[in-house]
Amino acid sequence: MEKKIFNPQVQENDIPSKIVAGLERISEVFKVLLWEKAKIVGLSPIQIQILIFIAYHKQEFCNVSHLAKEFNVTKPTVSDAVRILNKKEMIRKDFSSSDSRRYSIRLSDLGKKIVSETEDFADPLRNQIKNVKQADLESLYATLSTLIYQLNQNGILTVQRTCYGCKFFDKVGNKSYCNLLEKELFTADIRLDCLEFEEKTTAKN
């Protein structure tokens, strides 16, 4: 029988339900922190997320289609956000690809400045997490990274770039290995958003 996760009485005797309810609380933290920054710089949360994403990801991901998948919003929502960012001169549209209808998005100098003012929005959460013991951190990270990959494989999370879904990832016995970096990957080495990630052909994304 399905558990009624958000019924506190169900949670009392069910740790998975407690964890899911806890993750829901933490998702609220992201909303609160992002809104605080949004008010300061006069942008919406999704506009800030787009700017920060563009700052650190390769051009092939910096387009409306990918951003919609990355942030699980519609393409019109991203197009609207991009239009306003463009009007505020925080981004530039780059039409230099072979398909003249498509453009990728680059940051302007003003956009870079806004990124530097907003990208620390999640620091309060990190400051709490960093006080956890190293062994517990690694265990939490192992659970989180696996969960993210599994949710992607189940079709719930659209985008993931963990080692587990990467074509360079290999399992040799119990050991994880990156064929690109040519090294064994311990728990702390598993990447969550690897710049060299290339999707495994059998993986669903």
List 194, 200, 203, 205, residue binding ligand SF4 (CB under 6 A): 194
- How many Cα atoms within 13 Å fall on the side-chain side of residue 48? 23
Find out whether 169 and 200 touch, Cβ atoms under 8 Å.
yes
Find out whether 205 and 158 touch, Cβ atoms under 8 Å.
yes
List 52, 91, 107, 163, residue binding ligand SF4 (CB under 6 A): 163
Q: Which residue has the tokens 């999707």?
A: 199
Query: 3-state class of 121 per DSSP?
Result: coil
Instruction: Give the residue from 169, 160, 166, 172 showing the smallest Cα distance to 199.
Output: 166
Query: 3-state class of 160 per DSSP?
Result: coil
For 115-146, what is the HEC assignment?
A: HHHHCCCCHHHHHHHCCCCHHHHHHHHHHHHH
Is the Cβ of residue 103 or residue 168 nearer to ligand SF4 in the bound state? 168
- Cβ 127 to ligand SF4, closest distance in Å? 27
20 lines the binding site for ligand SF4 (CB under 6 A): no
193 lines the binding site for ligand SF4 (CB under 6 A): no
How many residues can be counted in the chain? 205
Cα–Cα distance between 164 and 203 in angstroms, integer?
9
Piece of the chain touching ligand SF4 by CB under 6 A; list 24-32, 51-59, 98-106, 178-186: 178-186
Piece of the chain touching ligand SF4 by CB under 6 A; list 64-72, 133-141, 144-152, 173-181: 173-181
Piece of the chain touching ligand SF4 by CB under 6 A; list 24-32, 45-53, 96-104, 160-168: 160-168
**Token pair for 203:** 């993986």
Piece of the chain touching ligand SF4 by CB under 6 A; list 39-47, 85-93, 108-116, 162-170: 162-170
149 lines the binding site for ligand SF4 (CB under 6 A): no
List 180, 187, 199, 204, residue binding ligand SF4 (CB under 6 A): 180
30 lines the binding site for ligand SF4 (CB under 6 A): no
- Cβ 197 to ligand SF4, closest distance in Å? 4
Is the Cβ of residue 24 or residue 193 nearer to ligand SF4 in the bound state? 193
Instruction: Give the residue from 94, 87, 101, 85 showing the smallest Cα distance to 44.
Output: 85
Amino acid (1-letter code) at residue 49: Q
| Contacting residues toward ligand SF4, per CB under 6 A | 163, 166, 168-169, 178, 180-181, 191, 194, 196-197
